[in-house]
Amino acid sequence: MNPKPQENITVPVELLTALRTAERVTILTGAGISAESGVPTFREAQTGLWARYDPQELATPQAFRRNPKLVWEWYAWRRELVAGVQPNAGHKALARLEQLIPNLTLITQNIDGLHQAAGSTNPIELHGNITRTKCFEDGRIISSWPETGNIPPRCPHCGSLLRPDVVWFTETLPPVALSQAIQASEQCDLFFSIGTSALVQPAASLAHKAQHNDAILVEINLEPTPLTRYVDFALHGPAGTILPTLLDYL
């Protein structure tokens, strides 16, 4: 017997029918799904030490070239923060949904690895992963390097600076991940946009690609976004509450 659904969340019966009958479901998540794990979203003010920096300024190759130490330390701080948090009920509900719906693709803009930690088997990481490090020159993934006290550390192969394996603004997305995400968006009949402000491209274009191919669009977000006017169902509230409720009803 499923636990009683949360009282104050209503899930439209048409959405449940769509979910039960969907051939292929594609889900895009953003920082909002990790907020309830304690990971600050992009738009809320950076806390403490980083309050005076705009993430869009720091998450760029220009910033790294200008001040590699600052950018490396910003990511080291975020890596520490992510290492200390757990997936929340929203992440876990998506991992459960994957078991109920065989043809489900999860795409994330997040770099925190919390979907994998919650049990999602193969999320498409559009913007990389903060736990991976690569050589700034040739992009080779480097899993260990001699501790020389240098910040950033140097590549053991070529001596260049090391950097996080994430996609910065003005950098192109990993081609395979992007083409898989586009294909999953164009071929689904139900598309969820969860915990994202739908502002950053090209991730924000995926929902429109789905709709262009007659998919039903669902937004689950704390507040309305530029996508809201296009969606068939807008469930505004915390993903950590709405997603388990959706599963309970299912």
> Which residues of this chain interact with ligand BV8, rule CB under 6 A?
30-32, 35-36, 41-43, 59, 109, 111, 127, 166-172, 195-197, 199-203, 221-223, 225, 238-240
Asked whether the beta carbons of 226 and 245 are under 8 A apart, the reply is no
Residue with tokens 């910065």: 168
26 or 225: whose CB is closer to ligand BV8? 225
157 tagged catalytic: no
Least separation in angstroms between residue 67's CB and ligand BV8 is 15
2 or 201: whose CB is closer to ligand BV8? 201
**In sequence order, what are the residues at sequence separation of 6 or more whose Cβ sits closer than 8 angstroms to the Cβ of residue 176?**
none
Is 12 strand, coil or helix?
A: coil
Least separation in angstroms between residue 222's CB and ligand BV8 is 4
Least separation in angstroms between residue 168's CB and ligand BV8 is 6
Which amino acid would we find at residue 141? I
Asked whether the beta carbons of 180 and 15 are under 8 A apart, the reply is no
Rounded to whole angstroms, the Cα distance separating 209 from 204 reads 10
190 or 239: whose CB is closer to ligand BV8? 239
Structure tokens belonging to residue 133: 């490090």
Rounded to whole angstroms, the Cα distance separating 120 from 125 reads 12
The catalytically annotated residue of 127, 157, 212, 236 is 127
Least separation in angstroms between residue 101's CB and ligand BV8 is 21
24 or 233: whose CB is closer to ligand BV8? 233
Q: Which residues are catalytic?
A: 127
